[in-house]
Structure 1
Amino acid sequence: MKYLLLLISSLFFYGADLNAASYLSDTTALLHVAGNCDMCKQRIEKASLSLPAVKKAVWQSETQQLQITFQPEKTTLSDIRQAIAAVGHDVDSIKAPTEVYDKLHSCCLYPRLGEENTLHAKMPTVASNQLLGVVVRADSHGNLTPLVGATIAYEGFPTATLQTDAEGIFKLTLANESPILVVSYTGMQPLRITVKNIKNTLVIQAKDNVLEEVIVQGNRQTAYLSKISPLRIEVITAKDLLKAACCDLSESFETNATVDVASSDAISGAKQIQLLGLGGSYTQLTVENLPGPRGLAIPLGLNSIAGPWIESIQVSKGVGSVANGYESMAGQINVELKKPQNSEQLYFNSYANSMGRKDFNLNLAHKISNNWSVGVLLHDNISTKKDMDVTKNGFRDLPTGNLFSGINRWAYQNDKGFMAQFGVKYLKDDRTGGAISFDPSEDKGSTTTYGLGFDIQRMEAFAKLGYIFPTRKQRSIGLQLSTSDYDQKSYFGITSYKADQQNYYANLLFQDIIGSSAHKYRIGASLTSDRYTEQVDAQLYERRETVSGIFGEYTFSPSEKFDAVLGMRGDYNSLYGWFATPRIQLHYAPTMGTDLRVSAGRGQRTANIFAENTALFASSRTWRIQHNNDLTKAYGLSPEVSWNMGFSIDQQVNLLGRPLGISLELFHTNFQNQVVVDYENPREVSFYNLAGSSYSNSFQAEMKYTPLKGLDLRMAYKWMDVQTDYNTGRASKPLIAKNRGLLNLSYATNNGWNMDYTLHIVGQKRLPSTAENPAQYQLGTHSKTYQTMNAQVSKTVGKRKNFTLYIGGENLTNYFQKTPIIAADQPFGDYFDSSLVWGPLTGRMFYTGIRFHIL
């Protein structure tokens, strides 16, 4: 791994020197300019050449790059960027004025920076079997205008024709592969065109009474870094999720190096995310910036959000915005779901794997009127194979049963600045696990056969209201509301765990500018109220926790090179009193293609010790809470408080004419207080407040490159050092790999084939001590290093190109933890333990599925 790190570092410094030399010596630079077609090309190049010091400007739609030659003593890159943005095109980190962008030709309405999944009202929507095209006329000065009434027809079928609209646009449904089209206009010679790729936008230009094909639209990235945020936000699009069998959120990060997902234990099927070497409870999970699965819903919450529902995922490490709350300690993951106003009318996904799991998804969306849209998202997960037992220990590898979830949502928007979204969500999770021979109707609650069961129901209602002031587009006000009820009835052998959480949330935001867009601010107030009831066997834990607060955030952007975000929250917790949350984020771009970011801030949360550690129930360990008898606090324990500091470098260069991205990140999280979960005694689990030091250091290096057209390469290395002072002394956090590596290859062809391959390398993990167990029930001090491989092939088929068949495999190396359960032969004995999971629980798995959609 050290050689990979040296290679990435060398490429980074080489790229930085290359950019600096280009700027100072060659007076030639590359800018990333968003656009679609030849009209965009003309507009971008004309704006660049309007500056007298610019000698040459060439923009390519495929790469979205503008190569520009200029005299640095007479003009700057900043002047050039401003000139391009002024005509409606986003360039690097500068967004074009909204009022200018809105007036662009429909063909030119590219996805905005940071809004790649949001469709403009004028932007044409195109089905997978449709060709989008535009016909324009060039005058003697080269200016392009739409050609209205041009005729497009299939060759040999002169009666099946259509004409371009008032903006010169046409959409044609293709009936066969590579059809020949005939384009004609009065007084001009007809043009024959063979359609080779319907994913491109066909542009036809009329000049000197001659029609000719000009240019096509470039490709979009499936995962990228937001260029307009001071925070380092990695955006994972729905297209990137299709690289793997993304059945739910827990499986959405298989091709991503930032977030790790691990099993909580060997029998419940629960998974948790890990960010910066810290468990998922330290990462703030939101759904469209509303609270996602939190509190008691954390252990099984990742399973409740279906992959086909997801439009994009935004991942940021370290502290987030104070407008989103105070709980972000390791980072924030925000999930954007598909919106009824701009998603498919119908989307269906069917999935089945060799382990007896079947998934069905149905998304429906309907635009009722110009203002109203309605959508339904449905997900059903069925697991029926009770005899899956690769380790031959008598226990099912995964629980069986059914998980159903659904969302009904409505959207309203008018042309006067008012927007509204509201809806309801429902989840029902009923599954059974444990021994293969376990029958809940006969064995539940007895010591005859070990069994596990979940009966979970969650209901939620939400609403988001917003208003943008018509005369001041930068000024807006928004209100977010949600309420939910989570009810869980579960048992682990003869231990029962019942839990209920009622949550109410409200967040009011107002944002505006002070004088100019260089000074932005957001202010607001929030309220979160939770009522918890937990019962472990006969022991009852109840609490009501309400947090109300106000916040303010100021953003200073004097130029496109620098941004500073200063935020402060003040909150009152009904259990712990007042606390403050200061945060700062800085972004500096010293040269083109180089982005430096620094962040620091405080986070605070209340630990839910049982819900976040249900693995303790899947063992014979006793649990013990060491507190100061102040039962006014949650479990008698103090809140968790941490400070996080982060630094990142992102470098974009050109290597052999193709874009190369290199990223280096370093984060440090230091806990002022933490609820320590101590597994060091194999007979018990202890919970107590930190007395000493606890910290996490995380370093990640990543490289993304496109060596050939259609081929994407992603490599990453991650190092983590997580240490905690336990009662027995300082030790690294157990079950966390110090070293990790990732390799992802993705190849797409023009005829609908997609091939993806992912290699994960996971280093050793420290295991809690089992030295006090009998020899046959002891484990080593560290796990083994292992590798897993995943691969998938998909093909889009059918005349309408709306069927996709996919087949793949996971854990192709067939590596799995040989003894995931200690004392599996004595599940009701003193040494039974399924909580020490460090590797895959299942062996090689194959799957297949089909997707179908109607736009």
Structure 2
Amino acid sequence: MSIARRSRPIARRSPKMTIPPRPGSASQLRRESVRRCSAWQPPALRRRSVGVVVSGLLPGLLVVAAAATASGPEDRTPFCSHPVRVLTPDGVPIPQARISPVGSEGGATTDAEGRACLADAPAGTTLMVTASGWAVGGGSLAATSDAPEREIVITLQPAFGEEMVVSATGKLRRLQDVPVHLQQIGRDQIVASAARSLAEAIEFTPGLRIESNCANCNTTSVRLLGLEGPYTQIVVEGQPTVSSLALVYGLEQIPARMLDGIEVLKGSGSALYGASSVAGTINLLPHQADHTHVDLAWESSRLQGNDSRSGGSLRGLVDWGAADGRSSASVHGQRDEVPAVDVDGDGFSEVTRRELLAVGARGHALFGDDGGWQLTADLNWTDAARRGGDFERIALPPDQTAVTEAIDTRTVAGSLRLLHVVSSRVDLRAALSRVEIERDSYYGADFDPDAYGASSGATTVAGLQVHHALRRSTLTWGVQAERDELVDVQLGYGRQIEETNENVGLFAQEDRALGGGFSLLYGLRVDQHSAIDDPIVSPRGALLWNPSDDVTLRAAIGTGFRPPSTFDEDLHIELVGGGVARVVRDDPELVEERSRSALFSLEWRPTLGRRNSAAFELSLFETRLADLFFQREQDDPQTPELELLRVNLGGARVRGIEGSGSLRVGSAVQIDGGLVLQSARFDDPEPDFGSRDFYRTPELYGTLSLRWQPAPRWSLFVGAIHTGEMLAPHYAGFIPEDRLERTPFFLTLDANASHTFELGGERQIVLTVGLRNLTDEYQQDLDRGPLRDPSYVVGPRAPRSLFAAVDLRF
């Protein structure tokens, strides 16, 4: 746990990581960084270069769309041997319902009319239908292959806990039957909230908080169960490919609409996840096409502030699905622009100028007569630029400004995943992923010509997982190997890091039905990390008990660790007091941080008739930390930087209670919410301010969201986020001396309304208007001017903004 001066410690160097300086390397690095980082060019030049890319992006997607739909409307609805439609008890279509053949992979997802086609499915196949907020339904195929079958209509009853999830065991399981505490964010929730990035997609999740940590560059992190970002592991389909370098700004660089779902596993009850999964795991599930479909959208927004500015977003998605259902492909692109905003009129931005260009493709294919082999391939590329600080000189090169943080990040990510169904009881899953990142940066003040830097990283992950179904249990075992390479050079601050970390994890767990409503998930994980001498053994387990059909009790315990390696906060340089940089170095005796966690929950799903459903849950959680990481001031007066030493400092305990609930009224209304009351304290007072309380950690916080369809083709969304009072360090610069502040509470509201115009078939135009931070809640005691403390930012990440969007689907 990094505390006190942690909020933006910046640089890090240890003897084993230092690379010798080369003659002329500083000037060479600066020239190369200036050439590579186009964010430092005047905005007009930047817009022209972006315009070239965007002008090619949209036509390119339109060409792919035309190719996918060139055969005409009649050919786009070919002979379907097994048409299926999913409806509510009132006959209302259920979109985004997943129809899966029992005993095999594959399937289809319903469209806006609740329709889907199961091509190439054998006669007599049993179907399982799942949808968020609805009970599992089913049916069977009985048509002959020489004539189309009459449309099969499957009606789902309202219920919670029936959704299918994968994060706990690596296999699809009904949420109600999963022993660990897991929450699912479906694609319908992402679309309803008008989320553009991963940060916006998860911010209404109970027990989870998104926070901005720097006024200059707006670096964003996630807090789960009261623990800061490094304690939560973010994975992509179970692969830990989101490195510390990617996490610095990554939450706002992953397009939300390119995800089919997100699963948030709280606590460390599953042995499938290794280092950093102390508070839990966020598993991202990329979008996978199952039929031919095109989605093109444009959004325009306007941010309020001392000088209101306009931004926008352009995105496209083209899906193609083969008629026999054995192969599919998807291509996506997204372009975002967020303007810099000077909220308080002091000439320095609080909202960072951000530009994102993301392009990617995914393909999926079944092989073999029975589809027993499946191959999935992904390739994604992003270019993200951000700049903040000196608002009046934002058009100038950064070394001609009073304070600037400018970062340009380019990421290429690719993966291959293979699934082989050996038999009805055994399947094998293998995955290989690689992510390469290049980042150019400027963290400087006082017109500093030497504050340029460059970083590069490469993360490779290979994994093998085997599932073996027995009579009353499923055994899962496997291996996961990671290699994370990082080079970070900030010569102006004397920081040169060259670090390679490797980790090999072996795991085994059993998911066993004990009878009497009991289910046990237990396992063991052994990690050998290159920064730690001895293997780390992490036993984990979770117990579920269903005493009745509407009550579920869960208990989970587990251990975890954080290795002493470079963290995401180390790769962000914080400037305070007009340009003093904080530099973090490691104590030679630094050891890994250990944790023990426990979580207990009671879930009640009362019966409210055939049209309504509800679920309420009460959870108790506790995490004990030992040898936690602490940054102690140890300044060398002979250097211009403020040096901090990372040491191990005793222990800490985070515990609390979380209440959450969901209510569905017919097919038109769904309400979700949660509230957390917690305590996060160190065993002993920390030395800087003498406090035992965690900083930037409110005791009370919560969320509430409403999705409502008041009339056909109309939908409304309202979301509220409450952030309670907290302690926050406030460092000298604008103020005369360091002090500890107690911040006020904040309550923000988001709201939007959408109307769908039906154009026939699957063709639709969706118009959306909305407000983010409707209440315009924003921090009132911001520091002003070039001497401000940029880490003293709390509450909402941006002031009020108005947006309008047009979405064309066909």
In the TM superposition, 1:82-93 aligns within 5 A as none
Partner of 2:337: 382
Instruction: Tell me which amino acid in the other structure corresponds to 1:696.
Output: V
Alignment correspondent of 2:715? 754
Whether the 8 Å contact between 2:540 and 2:557 is mirrored in structure 1 is: yes
Partner of 1:351: 299
Q: Residue 169 of structure 1 corresponds to which residue in structure 2? A: 151
Partner of 2:436: 485
User: Could you say what secondary structure the match of 2:548 adopts?
Assistant: coil
* Cα pair distance change 1:165/1:560, threshold 3 Å: farther
Kept after mapping to 2: 8 A contact 1:735/1:837: no
Q: Does 1:509 align with 2:462?
A: no
C-alpha spacing 1:145/1:655, structure 2 compared with 1 (3 Å): closer
1:112-511 matches, within 5 Å, as 117=98, 119-120=100-101, 127-128=111-112, 166-169=148-151, 201=153, 226-340=175-289, 342=290, 345-355=293-303, 356-368=310-322, 370=324, 371-383=326-338, 385-386=339-340, 388-414=341-367, 415-439=370-394, 442-446=396-400, 448-469=401-422, 472-493=423-444, 494=448, 495-511=451-467
Letter of the structure 2 residue corresponding to residue 483 of structure 1: R
Could you tell me how far 1:304 is from its partner in structure 2? 2.0
Instruction: Please give the alpha-carbon distance, in whole angstroms, between the structure 2 residues aligned to 1:287 and 1:261.
Output: 19
* Alignment-derived partner of residue 519 in structure 1: 473
Residues in 2 aligned to 1:241 and 1:680: alpha-carbon distance in whole angstroms: 45
Instruction: Report the Cα distance in structure 2 between the residues aligned to 1:839 and 1:453, rounded to whole angstroms.
Output: 23
Pick the aligned partner of 2:536 from 579, 598, 601: 579
- Which of 724, 733, 756 in structure 2 is aligned with 1:763? 724
Corresponding residue SS for 2:272: helix
Q: Which of 773-782 and 331-340 deviates more?
A: 773-782
- Given the alignment, which residue of 754, 764, 771 partners 1:809? 771
| Structure 1 residue 396: Cα displacement | 2.5
Q: Secondary structure at the match of 2:767?
A: strand
786, 796, 799: which is aligned to 2:756? 796
- Residue 651 of structure 2 corresponds to residue 669 of structure 1: no
**Percent identity over paired residues:** 18
Match of 1:176 in 2: none
Q: Quick check: 2:230–2:276 contact (8 Å CA) kept in 1?
A: no
Listed one character per residue, the Cα deviations across residues 580-631 of structure 1 (whole Å, up to 9, x for unaligned) are 121111111112211111111111233555632556524345435464436x
8 Å contact kept, 2:83–2:150:
no
The answer to which of 645-654 and 692-701 deviates more is 692-701
Length-normalised TM-score, structure 1: 0.71
- 1:776-791 → structure 2 map (5 Å cutoff): 781-791=741-751
Per-residue CA deviation, residues 252-301 of structure 1 (Å, 9 max, x unaligned), is 12432232111121121221111011122211111122224222111211
Paired positions, count: 660
Q: Deviations over 1:24-59 (max 9, x none)?
A: xxxxxxxxxxxxxxxxxxxxxxxxxxxxxxxxxxxx
Distance in 1, matches of 2:287 and 2:725, equals 39
Report the more deviating stretch, 369-378 or 290-299. Answer: 369-378
- Encode CA deviations 1:508-552: one digit per residue, 9 max, x unaligned: 1112134x1x12211112211111112233321222211123221
Q: Secondary structure at the match of 1:445?
A: helix
The one-letter code sitting in structure 2 at the alignment partner of 1:480 is: A
Coordinate RMSD, CA, aligned: 3.4
CA offsets 1:619-676 (integer angstroms, 9 cap, x no match): 345435464436xxxxxx3223211111111111134773221101111111122222
Secondary structure class of the residue paired with 2:246:
helix
Cα 1:146–1:530 shift into 2, 3 Å = closer
Structure 2: unaligned runs, 5 residues or longer: 1-80, 89-95, 119-138, 164-173, 304-309, 636-640
**Partners of 2:406 and 2:442 within 8 A in 1:** yes
Cα distance in structure 2, aligned partners of 1:733 and 1:352:
39
Alignment of 1:737 onto 2:698: yes
**Is the 1:222–1:240 Cα contact (8 Å) retained in structure 2?**
no
SS of the equivalent of 1:571 reads strand
Q: Structure 1 residues 497, 611: CA separation in 2 closer, same or farther (over 3 Å shift)?
A: farther
2:659 paired residue among 672, 684, 701: 701
| Structure 1 equivalent of residue 606 of structure 2 | 653
1:230/1:116 Cα in 2 relative to 1: closer, same or farther (>3 Å)? farther
- The structure with the larger Rg is 1
- What is the DSSP-based 3-state SS (H/G/I as helix, E as strand, rest coil) of the residue aligned with 1:227? helix
The 1:280/1:119 distance shift into structure 2, 3 A limit, reads: farther
User: Could you give the per-residue CA deviations for residues 300-344 of structure 1, whole angstroms, max 9, x where no partner exists?
Assistant: 11122111111111111001522233431100111111113x155
Q: Please tell me the residue identity of whatever aligns with 1:808.
A: G
Partner SS, residue 588 of structure 2: coil
Aligned residue in 2 for 1:100: none
Is 1:589 aligned with 2:536? no
Mark the CA change 1:503 to 1:237 in structure 2 (over 3 Å): closer, same or farther. Answer: same
The one-letter code matched in structure 2 to 1:582 is P
5+ residue gaps, structure 1: 1-103, 135-143, 150-163, 171-200, 204-215, 631-636
TM-score, normalised relative to structure 2: 0.75
Q: Name the structure 2 match of 1:833.
A: 789
Partner-residue secondary structure (3-state), 1:251: helix
* Mean CA deviation greater in 400-409 or 502-511: 400-409
Measured in 1, the distance between the counterparts of 2:707 and 2:385 equals: 37
Secondary structure (helix, strand or coil) at the match of 1:308 reads helix
Secondary structure class of the residue paired with 2:205:
coil
Quick one: higher RCO (CA 8 Å, sep 6+), 1 or 2?
2
Render the CA deviation track for 1:380-425: whole Å, top value 9, x for unaligned.
1123x44x22211212233325211122222111324111111222
Aligned in 2, Cα 1:622/1:133: closer, same or farther, shift over 3 Å?
closer
The match for 1:558 is: 514
Residue of structure 1 aligned with 2:568, choices 594, 606, 611? 611
Match of 1:530 in 2: 484
Counterpart contact for 2:83–2:117, Cα < 8 Å:
no
